[in-house]
Each structure stands twice: as C-alpha cells, then as structure tokens.
Structure 1
Amino acid sequence: MTLPPPPTGTSRPPAGGRCPVATPLYGPDLDGDTMPAFYEKLRREHGPVAPVTIAPGMQAWLVLGHRELLRLTREEQDFSHDPRRWTLLREGRVPLDSPIMPMVGWRPALLFTDGQQHRRMRSAVSHALACINGHELRRSVRATAERLIASFADRHEADLVPHYARKLPLQVITGLLGLDERTGQQLVQAIAGMVAANADSVNAAQRMNTILQGLIEEKRRRPGNDVTSSLLHHPARLTDEEVLHNLVVMFVAGNQTTVNWIATTLRILLCDPAFRSSLTGGHLSVDDALDLVLWRYPPTQNFPARYATRDLEFGGQHIRTGDMLLLGLAGANQDPEVLPPDGVPVTGNRSHLAFGAGPHTCPAQDPARLITRTAVDTIRHRLPDLELAVPESDLGWIKSPWSKGLAALPVRFTEPQLPQAATSHAAEQQAFSQTFPQSGEPR
C-alpha cells in the first residue's frame, strides 16, 4: 500500500519562534562514557525533546523525557512506525547507501508496521517466543556457557566480551531458530558483515538472505520444535518474506542487546564490591544486577524510530508531519522526574524503558532475561575467584550512539570448577571456532 504523501518540510519553527539548533548524534567523541553528560546537556538546552542530526543534513528529534517517551510509544495515531512516512526519505534526501538505512529502511516486519498489520505479526512472534521451553532454554544456556568457559579455562585469563558474552547468545539464538551449529555460525558471519557498513555489506546481506531462505524452505517441508517453524505455521499466515524479515529483526535486535546485557552485568559484579558482597550474601539477586544495568546502562541507548502523522506540539517542540523521532531510552532512564534524588534507581524497580513501551514493547524480554541471568550465574559459579585483570578506568565502551556495550572485559582466575562433559567438549569447540571464527577474530 502506498501512503499518502505528508506535507514537506521538517524544520519550520513555531510562529514567533526560531528553529532550534540540532546537535549531531554521531561522531568519534560520542561513546559510552560521554553519552550520559551529552543527554543531560540536551535536556538542559531543549527540554525532554531535543533536535539532533543522525547524519550530515538529516535532522531528527531525540525524545529524552520519560513521560514523553511513554506517549511516543503508546500513541500510534500520532507516531507511526512506518519509515515510508519520513519526509526526508520521501523527498529523496537520504542516500540509498547511507549508514542509517539498514536501521530505518522499511521491511515487512513487526518493527515497521502499525495497527492490525503489527498485531498480526506480533501474534505470531509472541506465540513463537512463548513456545520456548524455559527449562530447556536454561539447560541449553548453561551447557553452552560451560563449554565456552572450558575453552579458555586452561589459560586462567580471558576477555569476556569476545570469548563469552559475544559467543553465547549467538549459539543459543541460532539453535532457537532451528539452525544447526555450522549454518548458525555462517549466519553470524553474514549478519556481522551486513551491519559493518563496508564494501562487503551488500554481499553479506545476500548471504544472510540465502541462509534464511534455505532455513524457511526446510522448515516448510519438515517443521521442527523451533521459532522458525512456529512462525511459518501460525494462524496469522505470515508469508515467507515476512518470516524472513521478522527472523532478521529478532536475531539482530536480540543478539547484540543480550551481548551488552551480559557483559555489563559482569562488569558491575566485578567492579562493585558492595554489590558483589550483597549478592554473595543473598541480600540481592542476579536479577537485581540485571535491572541495575537496564537502568544505568541500557544495552540499546537510542532506538529508531517513529514518524509524526500530523503537526503537533510535543515536549515543548513544534513537530511537523513526517518528522523522525528517536527513542532516547538511556536519556529517558536518566530523567530527573522518575529517578530518586541521588540518581540511583531503587533496587527491583522495573519502570525503566530499556525494552521500550506500548504495543511495540520488546516481545523477547523474558527469554533474553533468562539467557542473561543464566550466563551470569553460570560464570559466577564456575569461576568463583574471577577478577578484573585491568583497572576499571581502562575499560571502554564501543563508540556508538545506538548501542551501549563494552569493548573489552579482561579477567583472570585461578580455580575453574567445570563438569567433565564441558571440559571434554572444549577441544572440539575450539577446532570448530577456528573453522568459523567470530566477527573480529583472526581466521
């Protein structure tokens, strides 16, 4: 369906006013350490909705207010998910090779639909996720975690980002999709190449599509007990194309956020002695640590996007039809209106916005929490004397305005406590990893 064209123009100031100056939401100076201060500066200067640019010449609004972000996510009649409404895109002012396009380009998937179409797709996705057996998933995560720990246990040191947090969700999620381990690693490589935004990205995207198309064809013929089969045979009758693109959304969105969640939770446990002591003493739980991360360091900082369906006043700004609005998840979590006076969230408080809100709240948050909790719990028990191998001040975040993830987490330990089954599998796993290395590892 072709949407009616919205009125052109994205920056006309309100009557009697002037157009606010937009701040770049990109560049080498914006990393995980500087972003909190960046959000507070925008809040002081512009209020809960701030003008930003996401690429040269591409203006958008960053929603930083907790109350405003709730409205943005709940009121589909004013804020659509369909990027075909974006004025800059409709006017041909967004280059097709722009690095923003992989994130905001339209796909026939639940992230880019509203109303009945969204409900139809979400019913299939939610059902597929609800059919995941929690006990089996926990066992799978624990076994995968133990095999990964065994692969570096003899060295008594590791970087837990590439060696643990990055590998574990990939292996678990590809299994949930119904892929065998070898094909799952090939899919991992293809998606890593696609999101790298380099000369090979187009070829990587084609490899990803080929793998998923093959998976869909196989599950049409021989359904299994997996997410792909559930999507294909749900009463919503998703087309093969819709299944493919919803799998992409589930894999890409679910994988990196879980990587970040695992690594950042481990950082808190390693660097906060008081919290670690309370956890060991039973006063706090691993879930408390997980929630602390979702408040302070949400795995996704900012998320695209909504598009205004009409002219309106919003958060003190004059929003035009077709304007892009970004979900400032990390900034909204810092909103002084919802935080205690000292800025530290109350333990157990889950009113954060790390998973979004409204009809498009992340449908995978329960399995994601189970995966993360099990990953953290397993390494705590298997490496009980785990400690940071560098000063905390040396730890850095990846440079991204979208994702909040650690670049590295080097650790050391002396007495790994692993079951025999995991140890015997370590050599086989290491040989396999050399054949299909993770992104960023040498071939």
Structure 2
Amino acid sequence: MTSPHAAAGPPARCPVNGTPAPTTALYGPDLDGDALPALYEQLRGDHGPVAPVTIAPGVDAWLVIGHREVLQLTRDEQDFSHDPRRWSLLREGRVPADSPILPMVGWRPALLFADGQQHRRMRAAVSAALAGINGHELRRTVRATAEQVIVAFAERSEADLVADYARKLPMRVITELLGLDDQTGRHLVEAVAGTVSATSASADASKRMGAILLHLIEEKRRRRGNDITSALLHHPARLTDEEVLHNLVVMFVAGNQTTVNWIATTLRILLCDPEFRSSLTGGHLSVDDALDVVLWRFPPTQNFPARYATRDMTFGGQHIRTGDMLILGLAGANADPQILPDDGTPVVGNRSHLAFGAGPHICPAQDPARLITRTAVDTIRHRLPDLELAIPQGELEWIKSPWSRGLAALPVRFTAPVLPQHPAPLPDHQPVR
C-alpha cells in the first residue's frame, strides 16, 4: 500500500528501528496550543503527510496529518488495527509502566480498542443507547441547565465562559445522561481531566475514574434507570460490567471535554469575528455554520490515538513497520492544502472535516454533541446579547495538551442580561427514552 502523496525527502526515523533522525516532541509544559497549526505545517513541509513525533518521554509514533491518509487510516482495519496490544514498543517492554501516555492508549475492553466483530458488537450497544436519547427532552434539559448556569453569574456582569459556562454545562448534562448525580459527576470530570492530561498523575486519576463508574454500574444493575448506563447494561449484546465501564469511559472522555472545547471556541469566534457575528445575527449564517467553522479550523480534539500497523508498508512516503503507532492528526488533516480551497478557508456548510473521525469508528455521539453545543451557544447569545470580550484577543490562552484544543479561559463582560423571570425547571424525565 502506498500513499497518494510522494515522500517529502529521505524516510524519517522509524519508531521501531530507531535510526537517528530527530522527532518533534508533541508533549510537555511548553506545548502552546496557539502555535500548533504552524507546527503541523512545519511537519508537513519537512516530512509530508506522515511525520515522526514523540508523544511522551521515550515514546515515538507517527502523526498522520494528510486528509486522505487519515481517511485511509480510519477505514482500513486490515492494515491499521485499533488494538494497542499490537503496539511493538509496548510488547517489547519499551514503554515505562508509569508513562503518562498509558492511561490514554492502554488496552481496554471498549469499542475504541476493538476491531471487526468485537467492535461491531459493542458499537451496536453504544449506538442503541445514544439513539435512545430523546432530542426534544435533551434540548429542553440543555436550555434549562444553561439558563440556570447563566443566572448564577449574571449579577457579576462578567464571567469566564470556560470555567463558568462551557465546563459546567456539558458536565451536568452528560452526567445526567449517564445516570450520575451532580456531585459525583463533578468528581468524574476531575478524574477524566487528570486521565487525559498526560502527566505523572494520570494513572491515579484513571483509577479514580474507574472506581466512580464501577459504583454507578453496580447501582444500575440493582435498579435500572432511564439512562445510558442502564441501556448499555440491558442491551441484547450482553456487555459485561467491565465492557460497560470502559465504554462509558470512552463515551465520557470523548464527549465531555470535546463539547467544552466546541462551545468555548464557537463563542470565541462569535466574540472575535464581528463580520461572522453580524452574519449570524442577520440570519445569513446559522449557529450550525458557526459550529462547522470550529470543527474545521479548531477541532476540539487535535490529535487522537491510535492505530497500529499490522504489517510493514510504505504509507505517506514513510517506511512503517509492523507494530508502529500512528496518531490521527485531525487538526492537521483538516488543514491539508490538498482538500482546502485555494485561500485555505473551509467552505461554510462543508462537513467533510475529520473532527469526528471517519470510517467504522466515526464518533457515534456527534448528533447529541451538536445538539448540546448548538443549544448552549444559542441560549447564551439570547440571554447575554451584549456579550463582549474582556481582554484583547491576543491575550487569550489555550490549554497545553497534545490531544485537546481548548481555551484556558474566555473572560467576557456584559451589561444587559435578558434573564427568564422564572428559570425553566429541568424536565421531569431524563432525556433518554
């Protein structure tokens, strides 16, 4: 198999054979989310659509940033497996047991780490559980929750829309969908954030995350609820408790932080791009158009682990060895000049981006995620119509993560909130059929 792109030069260092070409570090405290787009273009210029990177101390991989190459990587399970037990560095004992990357890529009995029939069995249960979400009830829940969150900070006439809004809203909605109470949901969010932070504390955070979800599963086994956890437990696919736990981990990790980033970044564009905001207010563009611009330019998940080569091959102009890890460079692939218009600007309404992945493992929760994000953005636009950025745009900071592209903070001010006289109560029934 050969990529349609030609090699940009001599083959770069192979993560397996260890030849001495340098790799680019895609981790560490100095990782600047604002500079990542330029880094992807530098890698593209130096190496082509597949570039050598280091994702943790001593852990090399390939970052796939070509649009066509990512499509091939996601669709071809015969050559690119999801199962990290095929990873040569891990099999050979070359990944430290305390490596911060292991909580992200270590094998779990979940659809994200399975191929073929095993993947299809678990995905059937997950898809059915998500399909059971009542869109009308979910919209009501998101709107009511958003109004409650806005009322809580409205008197201050200022807020940080990341900490005060974007982080609180999806967490409350998603944990309710899972069947968790608010306080336990906050503990789960903290544990998930620690797990994906790729630091020395990730392993402990992963254990806390598992303990919270295991207790939830035991409770739902005893007393079935109207929630996603119960739907998974009672699906005909007969998932084990362990499979339910780890599929909940995948759903929550993939769902919460990405939705936080999607909401916050959409609001940033509306605050910082007067022309776009005017077009939206005037009805020339919809909120969905704004959401798609974010998915193209600033996908909430920058890079996504991982696939593992099942054979030696030439891919993207690089020599890939059996067991090599390949990272889905979603943001880099979205910016691939091979598929963008001449000016490099994504076309409004074009949804051929890769923000949700592609192929058999494309995100099964993209519809409820879009509904949550759209409702969150629409609600705050109507409740805080004179919202404006409280600091210069150039002073905004991004979180430092190789995986997630999100704002660290979004400080705003406003003077004329339009608040409901009586904030809408949450629906009596959970938004799952």
TM-score, normalization: structure 2? Answer: 0.92
Q: Which residue of 2 aligns with 1:253?
A: 254
Q: Which residue of 1 aligns with 2:181?
A: 180
> Matches of residues 221-232 of structure 1 in structure 2 within 5 Å?
221-232=222-233
Q: Which residue of 2 aligns with 1:332?
A: 333
Q: Which amino acid aligns with 2:414?
A: F
CA contact (8 A) 2:330 2:357 kept: yes
Quick check: 1:70 aligned with 2:71?
yes
Change (3 A) 1:23 1:190: closer
CA contact (8 A) 1:398 1:404 kept: yes
Q: Which residue of 1 aligns with 2:276?
A: 275
Residue 26 of structure 1, CA deviation = 1.9
Q: Which amino acid aligns with 2:378?
A: D
Q: Which amino acid aligns with 1:65?
A: G
- In structure 2, list runs of 5 or more residues that go unmatched: 1-13, 427-433
Quick one: distance in 2 between partners of 1:240 and 1:128?
15
> Matches of residues 116-127 of structure 1 in structure 2 within 5 Å?
116-127=117-128
Quick check: 1:99 aligned with 2:100?
yes
Change (3 A) 1:26 1:184: closer
Show structure 1 runs of 4+ deviating over 6 A: none
> Matches of residues 189-208 of structure 1 in structure 2 within 5 Å?
189-196=190-197, 201-208=202-209
CA contact (8 A) 1:304 1:326 kept: yes
Residue 206 of structure 1, CA deviation = 3.6
Change (3 A) 1:58 1:206: closer
Q: Which amino acid aligns with 2:418?
A: Q
Q: Which residue of 1 aligns with 2:403?
A: 402
CA contact (8 A) 1:80 1:114 kept: yes
Question: SS at the partner of 2:326?
Answer: strand
> Matches of residues 80-91 of structure 1 in structure 2 within 5 Å?
80-91=81-92
Q: Which residue of 2 aligns with 1:40?
A: 41
> Matches of residues 7-156 of structure 1 in structure 2 within 5 Å?
10-12=15-17, 20-156=21-157
> Matches of residues 272-421 of structure 1 in structure 2 within 5 Å?
272-421=273-422
Quick one: distance in 2 between partners of 1:178 and 1:101?
28
Question: SS at the partner of 2:137?
Answer: helix
Q: Which amino acid aligns with 1:31?
A: D
Q: Which residue of 2 aligns with 1:433?
A: none
Residue 74 of structure 1, CA deviation = 0.2
Change (3 A) 1:181 1:11: closer
Question: SS at the partner of 1:306?
Answer: strand
Question: SS at the partner of 1:420?
Answer: coil
CA RMSD of the aligned region, Å?
1.8
Query: How many equivalent residue pairs?
Result: 413
Residue 188 of structure 1, CA deviation = 2.6
CA contact (8 A) 2:67 2:333 kept: yes
Q: Which amino acid aligns with 1:297?
A: F
1:111-135, Cα deviation, whole Å (9 max, x unpaired): 1110000000000000000100000
TM-score, normalization: structure 1? Answer: 0.90
- In structure 1, list runs of 5 or more residues that go unmatched: 1-8, 426-443
Residue 348 of structure 1, CA deviation = 0.3
CA contact (8 A) 1:10 1:322 kept: no
Quick one: distance in 2 between partners of 1:296 and 1:309?
32
CA contact (8 A) 1:159 1:409 kept: yes
Quick one: distance in 2 between partners of 1:66 and 1:347?
18
CA contact (8 A) 1:187 1:208 kept: yes
Quick one: distance in 1 between partners of 2:45 and 2:279?
36
Question: SS at the partner of 1:111?
Answer: helix
Change (3 A) 1:291 1:36: same
1:7-49, Cα deviation, whole Å (9 max, x unpaired): xx84449xxxx76432221234432211111111111111111
Quick one: distance in 1 between partners of 2:278 and 2:251?
36
Q: What percent of counterpart residues are identical?
A: 78
Question: SS at the partner of 2:257?
Answer: helix
Change (3 A) 1:342 1:185: same
Q: Which residue of 1 aligns with 2:6?
A: none
1:331-382, Cα deviation, whole Å (9 max, x unpaired): 0001001000111011000000000000000000000000000000000000
CA contact (8 A) 1:31 1:401 kept: no
Quick one: distance in 2 between partners of 1:213 and 1:271?
43
Question: SS at the partner of 1:33?
Answer: helix
Quick one: distance in 1 between partners of 2:227 and 2:342?
46
Residue 219 of structure 1, CA deviation = 1.4
